[in-house]
Amino acid sequence: NIFILLCFLFIINGANLIDGFNGLLAINLIVINSILLYLNLDNNHLEFSFFLTGQIIILICFLLFNFPKAKIFLGDSGSYLFGALVALNVIFTNNLNPQVSSFFFCILLFYLFFEVFFSFIRKVYQRKSPVLPDNQHLHMLCFKKINEKFDIQKSNYINSAIINLFYIILILPSIYFKDNSLMCKYWFFSIIFVYIIAYMRLYRLTKN
């Protein structure tokens, strides 16, 4: 029960945290739900697959008006809603497919989860209030660096595309060993390490 509550807490807050750049959250959610759909279709869980398909269609329709140029936005209510839905989707998929390692689902959610967790630890280390917002999150640092070469409008959606591209590159290999708990565990901690290295590099570049 505590694990489920923490899952909802981190994922919902993570969804709201990264929402703000055109397509950043929507593309991330489409990727996660598409992989969950693949898992459920592969194991003939058709009823839940229809539910996932409906969410993917809604997100794609939204993305058409949000990326690359934003005409509509998710806002707090939209990000909280879809954050809660993706947390539910992962929990249901985990229950329906017990042969798939739980660490595989941690890999899928690592960006939403670790963005919140790392931000909390970082602010405590920097002697800041962990509940107050700042502009030193990974996607914001990445945006600052891209904005040195492009105008604000282009930098906005290029930032979302780059972050999601790297996210996809990091998680896709784990599909091939999703049933192997040990490999998934190693892969999860490896991508956390990659995240920290990337953050530290961007932090130094933007500070300089």
In this structure, the chain runs to a length of: 208
CB 58 within 8 A of CB 26: no
The strand pairing partners of 21, in sequence order, are 19
Output the furthest CA–CA distance in the chain (Å, rounded).
Answer: 53
What three-state secondary structure class fits 64?
helix
b/e map 7-29, b = 16+ CB within 10 Å: beebbbbbbbbbbbbbbbbbbbb
**pLDDT of 201 above 70:** yes
CA distance 152 to 143: 9
How many other CB atoms are there within 10 angstroms of residue 130's CB atom? 13
CA distance 87 to 144: 30
What is the average pLDDT across 129-150?
87
**pLDDT of 7 above 80:** no
Structure tokens that stand for 17 in this block? 């945290």
**pLDDT of 176 above 70:** yes
Output the pLDDT for position 1: 59
Helices (H), 65-180: 75-96, 102-108, 110-125, 138-146, 152-171
First CA to last CA distance, the chain: 45
CA distance 185 to 174: 10
CB 62 within 8 A of CB 72: yes
**pLDDT of 72 above 80:** yes
What is the average pLDDT across 165-176?
95
Residue 29: closest CA among 7, 6, 12? 12
**pLDDT of 157 above 80:** yes
**pLDDT of 177 above 70:** yes
**pLDDT of 140 above 70:** yes
Instruction: Tell me the HSE value of 77 on the side-chain side, using a 13 A CA sphere.
Output: 0
User: What confidence tens digit (pLDDT) does each residue in 78-111 have?
Assistant: 999 999 999 999 999 999 999 999 899 999 999 9
Alpha-carbon torsion angle 31, 34, 39, 42, nearest 10:
-140
- Place 9 in a pLDDT band, splitting at 50, 70 and 90: confident
